[in-house]
Amino acid sequence: MFPANAAWHVKLPGLFGTPAPRCPSPRILRSLRIFRISSLAMPLSQPVNRSLRHRRAIAAEAYRREDGLWDIEVRLTDTKPRDIELAGDRIRPQGQPLHDLWLRITIDEEMTVLDAEACSDWVPYPSHCDTIGPAYRKLIGLNLRKGFRKAVRERLGGMHGCSHLTEAAGVLPSTAIQAFAGEVISIRDNGEDDPNPEPPYQLNGCHALRFDGEVVRQFYPRWYGHQPTPKARAEAAPAVASAPQAQQPAANGDRGGHAIDGNDAVPADRPTGTSG
């Protein structure tokens, strides 16, 4: 099924052999079932000879709860294939992550955040970095499709949060959209008999799904050549079109900081839809 040289890491005690995380939660046991297939055929051009120096991984999962709400969880890890030199002549041995951070929100089907929590299992400055978790309850009350990333930067940017947790929050809207597609949000078009006067929300959201494109002509012929008014797109429901226009991300490192512990920009403020 997979190439014989594929590298597998399944049910590890911790990330790349690290000790089990400190945050006590059932989600940890679920999340440690890690699949990593590093030797599958690469679709990019053949690279020059090189050696891996750092791996940042952001994994996001969505769960439908038995009470009808949804949990969206994000885990961000930073690892290196060598010992990591930290400030104060400290060494983080190879195999232990620089960062292992968690973020979970609970949302309703309108994508309003009803609960939020964050946990930092591995950080470069223990007892300092890992105290910021409670600040991420400021996500409560935000809506994932209404200016979410901008609001996150305003509430948790800079000294008000952890730059890495805040970056992880940037994938929450698109993860929720992908989870809702086909379950909460319809991605299909039932033709001329469909009473819905608005096109499926994903149309005109990317180059492949533009109204005058071949994909729409073939799979959504009712909407081929459609030219919605701005008001119509803003009022479409349920849709991500009500989200604000993309915000330009801040430049990386614009606040200075140590290279390893640097401040990363948050992605632009537009959820990514599903291709249908």
Q: How confident is the model at residue 19 (pLDDT cuts 50, 70, 90)?
A: very low
Distance (Å, whole) CA 210 – CA 204: 4
Q: How confident is the model at residue 79 (pLDDT cuts 50, 70, 90)?
A: very high
Q: Final residue of a domain: which of 160, 180, 200?
A: 180
Quick count: other Cβ atoms within 10 Å of Cβ 264? 17
140-164 mean pLDDT? 97
Q: Which of 77, 236, 255 is nearest to 167 (CA)?
A: 77
42 assigned to some structural domain? no
Distance (Å, whole) CA 42 – CA 102: 29
Alpha helices, H only, 110-224: 148-156, 163-169, 172-180, 214-219
Pair 173, 227 in one domain: no
- Percentage of the chain lying above the pLDDT 70 cut: 65
Give the 3-state secondary structure of residue 110.
coil
31 assigned to some structural domain? no
The residue with greater pLDDT, 102 or 196, is 102
17-24 mean pLDDT? 50
Q: Could you give the number of structural domains in the chain?
A: 2
Distance (Å, whole) CA 114 – CA 63: 15
Pair 120, 225 in one domain: no
201-226 mean pLDDT? 93
Alpha helices, H only, the chain: 26-31, 148-156, 163-169, 172-180, 214-219, 230-235
10 assigned to some structural domain? no
Pair 169, 102 in one domain: yes
Q: Which of 218, 212, 192 is nearest to 276 (CA)?
A: 218
pTM of the model: 0.69
Q: Which of 66, 64, 70, 135 is nearest to 107 (CA)?
A: 70
The residue with greater pLDDT, 88 or 240, is 88
92 assigned to some structural domain? yes
| pLDDT at position 272 | 43
Pair 122, 219 in one domain: no
Pair 103, 162 in one domain: yes
252-261 mean pLDDT? 37
Pair 195, 116 in one domain: no
148 assigned to some structural domain? yes
37 assigned to some structural domain? no
State pLDDT tens for residues 114-137: 999 999 999 999 999 999 999 999
Pair 133, 78 in one domain: yes
Element (H, E) at 194: none
Pair 87, 196 in one domain: no
The answer to whether 171 and 271 are in contact (CB under 8 A) is no
Pair 64, 111 in one domain: yes
| pLDDT at position 54 | 97
204 assigned to some structural domain? yes
Contacts with 86 (C-beta within 8 Å, 6 or more apart), sequence order = 92, 124, 260
7 assigned to some structural domain? no
Element (H, E) at 94: none
230-257 mean pLDDT? 43
Q: Final residue of a domain: which of 114, 149, 180?
A: 180
Pair 154, 230 in one domain: no
Pair 137, 62 in one domain: yes
Pair 121, 154 in one domain: yes
- 204 lies in which domain range? 191-235
